[in-house]
Amino acid sequence: MAFLRQSKGKEHTEKTRTARRVSFFIGHMDRSNVLGEVLMRYLLVLFIAIMIFPAAAAADYKELFEQEFLSKPWAGEQVEVNACIDCHSSDKMKPEFREMTEAWQASWHAQNKISCHNCHGGDPKDAAMSMSRQRGFIGVPETQDIPEFCGKCHIGILKNYLESGHGKVFKSTGKGPNCVTCHGSHDIQKANIEIINEQRCTRCHSYERARGMKQALFLVEKKMEGMEKDLKRLQAQGIFADDKERALFSTQAEFRALFHTVDVSLVKQNTDEFTKRLNVIDKEMQDIFAELRFRKNFSAFLMLLFAGMAVVIVVYSKLPKE
């Protein structure tokens, strides 16, 4: 009996064990299906959250930035071909005149759509009449008129220049430098303090004066240079920073106009005020960088959190039930 019972018991346990094994297998399958689904859902949510969170915050910036960027003249196409450029770059033209057109094409003016007729007048739409006086053609300015020729657009600079030692001497004796002496005429590039160098500034007087001016400009120039780099970094990350760009560039333009007074002590006097104004813009940019860093860290944190949760769920699903 005892044996019977024992064998029965054994049989019983055998049976139940198999049954349990089968049911565990089936149950496990069910459970892993459910878990799989839950897991997939979590991962999907996690994925969407990670993708959307920083993107959503940047989306409005990006859109605005693109709108703004594409409307900038230097972002669009180059100046459309016109009669002046057509003819002045053709074989009809003597080589040294063709070179002028090439130089202009590589200039900052060309990038900003300042074309031949904007400086020389005339009608770029009508090849036959383009260089006629009736169409406003001015032609080549007399040397002593160059400051006004350029200054019709660069008004503040013209004013500072005319009141400066350089402007006064140029106007009275023709011995001072004019705009073209320092910037060129067709190959004009963005200005910076490297224009002040021994080669250019020792033609009429010792380099000492020029050096003093360069030193006075240096601090603010370095600051602006660093800020321009930061601005580019922001824009490269798709951040809309047009207000900062405008503020920086107008401050920069004002500061650089100051050079044309060639008054070293005036530049020194104004250094503090410009530094303060730049600091305000700089602070705003640094705040955006801080926010970006926070956003990045927060995404990483979310990623870790969800990955951790996923691991917990997987481990949990692997444990036998009971």
For the record, the structure tokens of 37 come out as: 């689904």
Smallest separation (angstroms) from ligand HEC to the CB of 279: 18
Q: By CB under 6 A, how many residues form the interface with ligand HEC?
A: 80
Region from 30-38, 40-48, 64-72, 124-132 binding ligand HEC, contact rule CB under 6 A: 124-132
Binding to ligand HEC (CB under 6 A) within 230-259 occurs at 252-253, 255-256, 259
Alpha helices in 174-263 (DSSP H): 179-183, 198-201, 207-236, 242-259
Member of 28, 31, 62, 120 binding ligand HEC (CB under 6 A): 120
Member of 42, 108, 289, 306 binding ligand HEC (CB under 6 A): 108
Q: Would you call 169 exposed, middle or buried from its count of C-beta atoms within 10 A (0-12, 13-18, 19+)? A: middle
Member of 191, 247, 309, 313 binding ligand HEC (CB under 6 A): 191
Member of 227, 230, 240, 260 binding ligand HEC (CB under 6 A): 260
Q: Would you call 46 exposed, middle or buried from its count of C-beta atoms within 10 A (0-12, 13-18, 19+)? A: middle
Q: Which lies closer to ligand HEC via its Cβ, residue 36 or residue 184?
A: 184
Member of 65, 79, 176, 245 binding ligand HEC (CB under 6 A): 176
Q: Which lies closer to ligand HEC via its Cβ, residue 2 or residue 173?
A: 173
For position 183 contacting ligand HEC by CB under 6 A, the verdict is yes
Q: Which lies closer to ligand HEC via its Cβ, residue 35 or residue 196?
A: 196
Smallest separation (angstroms) from ligand HEC to the CB of 79: 9
Exposed e or buried b for every residue in 4-36, given b needs 16+ CB within 10 A? eeeeeeeeeeeeeeeeeeeeeeeeeeeeeeebe
DSSP 190: -
Smallest separation (angstroms) from ligand HEC to the CB of 207: 9
For position 62 contacting ligand HEC by CB under 6 A, the verdict is no
> d(Cα 233, Cα 249) in Å, to the nearest integer?
16
Member of 230, 245, 263, 282 binding ligand HEC (CB under 6 A): 263
Smallest separation (angstroms) from ligand HEC to the CB of 162: 8
> d(Cα 231, Cα 249) in Å, to the nearest integer?
11
> d(Cα 234, Cα 228) in Å, to the nearest integer?
10
What is the x/- site pattern for ligand HEC, positions 11-50, by CB under 6 A? Answer: ----------------------------------------
For position 127 contacting ligand HEC by CB under 6 A, the verdict is yes
Quick check: 154 and 183 in contact, CB under 8 A?
no
For position 201 contacting ligand HEC by CB under 6 A, the verdict is yes
> d(Cα 269, Cα 111) in Å, to the nearest integer?
34
Member of 10, 12, 133, 205 binding ligand HEC (CB under 6 A): 205
Q: Is the dihedral of CA 84, 71, 185, 177 positive or negative?
A: positive
Of the chain, the end-to-end C-alpha distance in Å amounts to: 34
Q: Would you call 152 exposed, middle or buried from its count of C-beta atoms within 10 A (0-12, 13-18, 19+)? A: exposed
Q: Which lies closer to ligand HEC via its Cβ, residue 118 or residue 299?
A: 118
**Beta-carbon neighbour count of residue 201 at 10 Å?**
20
Smallest separation (angstroms) from ligand HEC to the CB of 81: 11
